[in-house]
Every structure is written in structure tokens, then in C-alpha cells.
Amino acid sequence: MFVFKAAVVGAGTMGAEIAQVIASAGIPVVLKDAESERAQAGVARARSAWQAQIDAGRLDAPEAERRAQLITAATGYDAFGDVDLVVEAVPERMELKQAVFSELDEATPGQAILASNTSALSITEIGQATIRPDKVVGLHFFFPVSTSRAVEVVEGEDTSTETTQATATFAQAIRKAPIRCADTPGFVVNRILNAAVSELWRAQEESGGDLEAFDRLIGEASPSGHGPFFIADLLGLDTVVAVAEHMRDCYGDRFHVHGAMRANVEAGRMGAKTGQGFYEHRR
């Protein structure tokens, strides 16, 4: 199966970047969000990424415009009638994801693959919201999507071999390296990553050390140059806390949930997407 047209549901940071990567590979993509402003902002984010490549001399303006024309912003499912693959990128809440997949089940052709960008939730459980669980698969991208090569292709208990293979082929078509894995909490990468970052969160909390100083110290040893709290802000504290709590619930207290991080979320400070988290961010 070849993907001639794709769609992304959720025009937040991850959804917008996923749409940008798909369009960069020459594949038309619909970027849907419930709010028109967010959908348009997602397209603008993609354009901004291409402009940065133009400024760096890695892309010419006509090619950037051609790619931009491949992204269509939408608030409904009218343009989903001929898509071959959809990537869901909404917040990490099972009930929300199942609601979206139920809608996608009705809005897309029966042969379309329905993929979730979930970081840790069960693909099998998500697929139960549809009448085609064999077509439901995990397609977990990593931030920043444009430069991170790896993508997890997660097989639920009902995912067919054909769906898994077609999804892995699509990942390669958009210049990603697929990692095929089973449907276990955290899959491969987040199980490893959260085990490590849990210890960093725990160390900062137990020592009472200055959070920004802690981030600077860890950032000096990190390839990204950033510490765990700044990166959590970029990813979205609500998503990071949801994944951390899910991992703790599944594997026990060796997976730690940072108290101040949860407090930020409860206060509505979600990080870069709201302008305030552990740090202030210009929006």
C-alpha cells in the first residue's frame, strides 16, 4: 500500500511538525484541529521551518512554496474521504484518543490506516474504539520531528502484518528510520528515556537544588544542550506528566513523577505552548 494522501489530527507542536515532514516528502496532507486558529498556526509553523532552511541555504524558495501548498488546514473531516493514512496527535488521554479514532473510523475509507502518535498508551485499547482494529497502529515520532530520524511503529494485539509493514514503508518514505515494537507501556524509547529522566527529576527534588542551575549542569553533558526541565517545557508539561504517571502506574515507583511539574500542569502552565512552565516562553 502506498500513501498518496495523509492527514494529521491535532495541530499542536507535534502535529504541525509531523505534517511538515510529510509535506516535505511530497505527500499532500490535511492538518486538522478543532480550532481554526490552531490549524492555521500549525501551517504557519511548517512555513517557518522551511523559511529557516531557506535562510540557512538548504532550501530554495520555490521548493518551500511547493511544499507549503501540500498542507491544507481544516477544522472538520470533509477532506478525509480519500486519505490513505491518518496520524492522530492529540493530548495523551485515552478517552480523547478513542473519541478521535471513533470519528476517524467513520470519516476515512475502510482501507485507510489509523495511526496514533501516542508516547505510551495502549494501541490495542485505542483500536477498540474502531471496527477495524487491524488497521490501527502506533506511529510515534520524536521531538523535534524534522531532525529526529527514529520513529516507533507499534503493533497492537490486533494490528495486521500488512498494516505494520505499510506503516514502516510510509515512515521510510518520509525519511524516517522505523523501529518496530510491541504494544507495551512506553514502547521502547520512552521506557528507557523515562527510566533515566525519572532519576534526574528525583535527584533535583531530593536535593532541593536550583532548577535552572540543575538544567544548565545536565545541559552541558547533553547533545541538545538543554536540561530535562527545559525539554519538558518544549514537549508540553501536560504530555510529560501524563506519560510519567502512566509509566509509574504500569511499572511502579522506579518511575518518578516530579511534584513541581504536576503543580505547573494543575495551574495551567503547560510549558512553551502556553508561554509559561518552568520557564517563560515567547509565543
| Residues belonging to the active site | 140
Strands 6-9 and 71-74: unpaired
How many CB atoms sit inside 10 A of residue 110's CB?
A: 8
Query: What does the alpha-carbon distance between residue 36 and residue 261 come to, in Å, rounded to a whole number?
Result: 30
For residue 110 the three cell numbers come to: 475502510
C-alpha to C-alpha distances, 71 to 99, 132, 177, nearest whole angstrom: 24, 27, 23
Eight-class DSSP state of 280: B
- Would you list the DSSP string of 9-53? E--SHHHHHHHHHHHHTT--EEEE-SSHHHHHHHHHHHHHHHHHH
